[in-house]
Amino acid sequence: MRRRCASASWVAWCPIQPERPSDDRVTAVPRHPPDWWGAAQTLIEGCCTLPAAERVRWLEQLCLGLGDQLYPAFLRVLCLVGEHGEPLAQQAVAATLTQALASGRLPSGRQTAWGAAAGAATRQQGPIEFLCAWYLHPGSSDTLSANGFDQSARALLGLVAHDSQAHALYRARLSAAAADPLEGTWSRHDRAVLSALVQAWQAGVAPAVPVDAFLRAARQATPSGATGVASAWTGPGWAPGVR
């Protein structure tokens, strides 16, 4: 994936058409059809060309402009970079994620919490947790197949692993979620599945190893009484694994 010379402004985010309501706030709506490759180029340019101190703020503005409804589109673009980006581009995006993790400003999407009625309780999840919960608790409007999760998770984990600090910080983040029974947004089964991913995601291993461990653990029977989570944040065609 070659990097183009273009504006790194979030308004240039390619799948999204800027829209300015009457109160002069800038929001975003999907372009039809979305330009996923152009969006990946824009993400790479921002992470490569903006001053280091501005990259996380730019990424935050980007995701705020998308909103929770379009967060899966952001995941899809990250997956494209992780799967098809050139090494230097992947390293630049991973380094920006490191800054976001270290400062507690990782772009996140809102999901309905485990066991809650749709919209009753929500949780903010980073890219990997969001993808895991999407697969474990498919919603009524869109689902993520095992093959889709496998492809997308390999791309995301591989992207993060391009920066050793990002890998260490994200692994610690997932480990904390898996080890906390009082946090309330993951079921016991979910935490066991996350733990399997964390234990397998050692430095230097291929992304397929932790992803396979996650899927094996997920195939085990869900504890009695656990329920799926209704999805209010996905839309057809936004699944990361969809081409």
Domain boundaries, the chain: 1-107, 114-229
CA angle, 65 as apex, 60 and 66 as ends, to 5°? Answer: 100
Give percent of the chain with pLDDT exceeding 90: 49
Give pLDDT tens digits for 41-91: 889 999 999 998 899 998 888 887 777 677 888 899 999 999 999 999 999
| pLDDT value of position 89 | 95
Closest CA to 55 of 1, 99, 107: 99
| pLDDT value of position 152 | 96
| pLDDT value of position 35 | 80
101-113 average pLDDT score = 85
Residue 222 has pLDDT above 60, yes or no: no
| pLDDT value of position 13 | 43
- Give whichever of 29-33, 61-65, 185-189 has the largest mean pLDDT: 185-189
What is the CB-side half-sphere exposure of residue 153 using CA atoms within 13 A?
30
27-30 and 16-19 beta bridge pairing: antiparallel
| pLDDT value of position 241 | 57
| pLDDT value of position 49 | 93
Residue 21 has pLDDT above 60, yes or no: no
> Among 10-19, 180-189, 205-214, whose mean pLDDT is lowest?
10-19
30-47 average pLDDT score = 81
| pLDDT value of position 185 | 75
For residue 70, give Cα distances in angstroms to 50, 62, 101, 108, 233.
Answer: 24, 11, 21, 11, 7
Mean pLDDT of the chain: 78
| pLDDT value of position 182 | 74
Give pLDDT tens digits for 110-131: 876 655 545 555 678 899 999 9
